[in-house]
Chain A
Amino acid sequence: MTLRPLITLLAILVLVSCNDFPKDPRSTLDHIRSERSFRVGLVSPAAWNEPDPNSKRLLMAVANAAEASPKLVHGETEVLLAALEEGKLELVIGRFEKKSPWASRVTFGPPLRVEQRGNSELLLRPAMRNGENGWIALIEREARNLGPAAQ
């Protein structure tokens, strides 16, 4: 076996992956585009607080990119992340510890803001369901455009 099969395989894969890549196993981004809406959980201690300005900017950027409108719910961290893990939400935005115990169960995106609290850091960041890589790529792109590194 020579290198030729390896190179041929790669060339084919690069060509077919040019459009809409990566894809979501559960077609999250496709559903959002067809339904023109996505469900967002905002972590907030008081249910009726105004969302953080950075969170609002992210929501607007994602809505533009996905051509869909956000449907907001407010709640506590554990409740919202559990709902995200089960697929009842597409996105959660809140302040999470840098080494969150949820890191293996959901995918955290780039931070929008970093706050120092004693020895720990709190990051305002989006969280997405594991494995929905197309949707994750969109959120990550928009979060990077707004995050501390971009400012």
Chain B
Amino acid sequence: MNNAYPPHVKAGIRKAIKLEYWTIAWLMTVVPLMAMVVGSSQAMKTVWMEDMLGFIPPIAFLISERLERKGATSSYPFGFDRVNGVAFVVSAVALTIMGGYLLFEAVMTLAWAEHPTVGTTRAFGQDIWLGWPMIAVLLWSTIPSMILGRLKLPVARTINDKVLHTDAEMQKADWMTGIAAIVGVMGIGFGYWWMDSAAAGLISFSIIKDGVTALRAATAELVDGAPRALESDVVSDEAKRLKSALTRRFPSAKVRLRETGRVIQAEVATVPPKTVPRLDEIWPGDPNRAWRFAHLSFVPTSSSKVPR
């Protein structure tokens, strides 16, 4: 299937692969640094967990992209286009469950009124409050994430990849996580112990929200729902226009669309026409996006009459 993509989509996929490897490499610096400074701050623990979860989308994307290239086999005659959707569900479930657990931890810490200790360390002959290295690591966790997210978003749109898009949106929004965690740590420094757990709770809500949004879109694809927009779980405008175009071309036929990975498959319940049109002739939207319409099948119905 990958060979059918036009050059600009193949280039987008190659760029996405590079960006995801960069993401993994950067996370491999962030996670150990976080482990060194996390201490007993609930906000820091939450950000650390979120960063560890951050490995899942890029790894899922790289695995699914590699499998997608394999093409059809006798055991998998439809190929591996759906691997992308499976990867999406895995990411979404991990986010949702972890977000729920972290929210529970934050609430319990608040309920038990646990005061976090953030002590000091001695470096270069100076005693330094550990909150400052925490904030430095938070900045290293946040700023590159925002940059990577902004770089990934246009690529995700070009190649219509939901895993990449969700990953990009989460990273782009990391500035909120960073600010919440920094405010939590500084709250500890000012003697407002509850700000740490409150920040952790807010960050957890954000993780849950990301997970639930992704889960809704991911399950829609896996249960053969109509193709969804990248940014949400509503049916995409491209899908609506394609369905209208097919309905106009085959009046009184039932038209169904579904998504497999990046591409759309259409099923028209009618007698096949004598001359089957090219898919890019039917595609009603931007010609650069016509590659998304990958499959058209005709399904006979009991009322279909075979033309003589």
Contact = CB atoms under 8 A, between A and B. Distances in A.
Interface of A: 1, 3, 5-6, 9-10, 13, 17, 21-25, 27, 107, 109, 130-134, 136-137, 140-141, 144
Interface stretch (B61-69, B178-186, B231-239): B178-186
Interface of B: 40, 114-120, 122, 127, 129, 131, 135, 139, 142-143, 146, 175-176, 178-179, 182-183, 186, 188-193
Contacts of A5: 175, 179
Contacts of B115: 25, 130-132
A127 to B, nearest CB: 11
Contact of B117 (A9, A21, A136): A136
A6 B117 contact: no
Given A3-B146, A22-B118, A27-B191, 20 more contacts: A1-B175, A3-B143, A3-B175, A5-B175, A6-B179, A17-B186, A17-B189, A22-B129, A22-B191, A23-B189, A25-B192, A130-B116, A131-B114, A131-B116, A131-B188, A131-B193, A133-B118, A133-B189, A134-B191, A137-B119
A22 B179 contact: no
B192 to A, nearest CB: 7
A22 B142 contact: no
Contacts of B116: 130-131
A24 B115 CA distance: 10
Nearest to B190: A23
A137 B189 contact: no
Contacts of B182: 6, 9-10, 13
Contacts of B143: 3, 6
A107 B122 CA distance: 17
A22 B117 contact: no
B117 A131 contact: yes
User: Closest 8 CB pairs between A and B?
Assistant: A131-B115, A23-B191, A22-B189, A107-B117, A25-B193, A25-B191, A141-B127, A137-B120
Contact of B119 (A10, A13, A25, A136): A136
A141 B123 CA distance: 12
B39 to A, nearest CB: 10
Contacts of B175: 1, 3, 5-6
Nearest to B128: A137
B144 to A, nearest CB: 11
A3 B143 CA distance: 8
A9 B115 CA distance: 24
A140 B120 contact: yes
Nearest to B122: A144
Nearest to B147: A3
Contacts of B114: 130-131
Contact of A133 (B146, B176, B188): B188
Contact of A24 (B119, B131, B142, B191): B191
A22 B116 CA distance: 12
A32 B210 CA distance: 47
19 contacts: A5-B175, A5-B179, A6-B139, A9-B179, A9-B183, A13-B186, A22-B129, A22-B189, A24-B191, A25-B192, A107-B117, A109-B119, A130-B40, A130-B116, A133-B118, A133-B129, A136-B119, A137-B120, A144-B127
A133 B190 CA distance: 9
Given A10-B182, A25-B192, A25-B193, A133 B142 contact: no
A22 B132 CA distance: 11
Contacts of A24: 191
Contacts of A144: 122, 127
Contacts of A25: 115, 191-193
Contacts of A133: 117-119, 129, 188-189, 191
| B131, B146, B191, most chain A CB atoms within 10 A | B191
Contact of B127 (A6, A107, A140): A140
A65 to B, nearest CB: 12
A22 B188 contact: yes
